[in-house]
Amino acid sequence: MVENLDKVKDIIARTNRIPVWSLPTAFLGIIGLGYFFTFYDISDIGLAMPAIDQQFNLHGSIILFIALSVGLIGYAIGSYLIGSLADVFGRYRSMILTMALTAIGSLGDALSFNVPELTIFRFITGIGLGADLNLVSIYITEFAPAAVRGKITVLTFLIGIFGQAVTPFIGYFLVPAFPTGWRWLFGIGAIIAFIAVFLRTELPESPRWLATKGHNLEKAEKVLEMMEATAKKKIGELPEPHPENVVVEEPKFPTLYLFKKPYTGRMVLLIAVWFLWYIGNYAFLGDAASLLESIGFSEAAAILYIAIGAIIGYPAGALIMLYTSDKYERKHVIFAATVVWFLGMISMATRMTDLLYFGSFLGAMGLGMYLQVAYTFTAENYPTRARSSGFGITDGIGHGGGALGAILLPILVATYSWAFGFTFIGITGLVAGLLILIGGTKVSRRNLEDISE
């Protein structure tokens, strides 16, 4: 039984009535810095791989691809385990833990001198990254107003997406030029992560989570009063809350919520979506530079192909979603993103010089359009008591597709052809979009509790 049920409903209703972003604007930058590191790290391993391959005398060995994939395994484990802790102990503490793990892991990546060491630290980095991407998405979703939830989440993502956009250029100037360039690439990521740990201590706990736990309502009130005061400075008086419309579920172990209607069906659908999407996502980000080098491009030229597409494509995709993710139903714009991705991979499949640039651009734009809006969509589909656990299971198992894709794409290219490999990862992304379009829930401009019903 929920204790202080009327008070819990009142706090959630007061949170739902706030129509604007009600935390300090600087907090968007702090949250975005975590995203910056996440996407920086997703890109840096693929850019470092050619140099690691040479220095560790692996010569394209599958062991190197395993070193990449083991990070994704850690990602899956961390996303669920720390995500579950966040549903029990709170978003704030867990977000400090996750960024500390990523900082330690990235520093270890930079100091690794063999594949076993690199594999261990990629696993640690993966645990932190998986959980952090989960928690940042959950945190923003629980603070952002329903009418502009998509816009707010994309704003923070836009800060982070520059991590994926600028990383290829940092790699371009470091990796080919210096024997230790790949180490500096990881080291820069570690510095960013340690800064993010310090800045995150300023963030408040989610009042929505505090209220559903029921035992820390005074703290929830204090955070909420700060949010209401900030909102009133922006727009004046706030709308009346409607606690009578709030439904609060009975407390139990977070994961158990996911095995009841409608969450079980949503979870199965979203696991399939993310598994298919990540096959191509991580294959492209992790393998494209090495595969370009294997067909005759220099190390610098291979990285440059990815970098030019990224610096334009990622921000362009995010900016498109900034103006469309709330205006249109989210599952429709997610599908549109997968169409852009598919066209990008088909262009890459031609191996024609100009179309490789165009394909890299479209692939990056599709990623910039898809990722944060799909993360938000995933978070919206679960109840507050199990939102982080649900996201963790969905995204964690989904990353099995990323681990598979990172190993599979080089095999498909070697066994069949370049065109077959890149067409395949284009199709897996498009099918992910079709699944959301056909089976996804309508979420745009709806309160989280309404979507949960």
Closest CA to 175 of 164, 183, 187: 183
CA dist 319 and 331 (Å) reads 17
Six-digit token string for 167: 């990383």
pLDDT, one tens digit per residue, over 17-57 is 999 999 998 998 898 888 888 778 877 877 787 788 788 87
Closest to 380 (Cα-Cα) out of 302, 289, 446: 446
What token pair was written down for 218? 């005074």
Mean pLDDT of all residues in the chain? 88
Give the predicted TM-score (pTM) of the model. Answer: 0.86
pLDDT in tens, 108-144: 999 998 888 888 999 999 999 889 988 998 999 999 9
**Which of 251 and 225 is assigned the larger pLDDT?**
225
What are 137-185's pLDDT values in tens digits? 899 999 999 889 999 999 888 887 777 677 877 887 888 888 888 899 9
Distance CA 92, CA 202 (A): 10
Average pLDDT score over residue span 333-361: 93
**Diameter over CA atoms, the chain:** 68
- CATH no. of 5-233+254-452: 1.20.1250.20
Mean pLDDT value across residues 249-266: 85
| Structure token pair of residue 27 | 């907090």
Compute how many other C-beta atoms are within 10 angstroms of the C-beta atom of residue 326: 23
Confidence of residue 3 (pLDDT cuts 50, 70, 90): low
pLDDT, average across residues 61-85: 78
Q: What is the mean pLDDT of residues 360-386?
A: 93
Give 340 or 214, the one with higher predicted confidence.
340
| Res 62 pLDDT > 90 | no
7 confidence band (pLDDT: 50, 70, 90):
confident
Kindly report, residue by residue over 288-320, the tens digit of the pLDDT. Answer: 878 888 888 887 778 777 777 878 888 899 999
Domain boundaries defined on the chain: 5-233+254-452
Phi, psi of 441 (to 5 degrees): -80, 150
Residue 215 pLDDT class (50, 70, 90 cuts): low
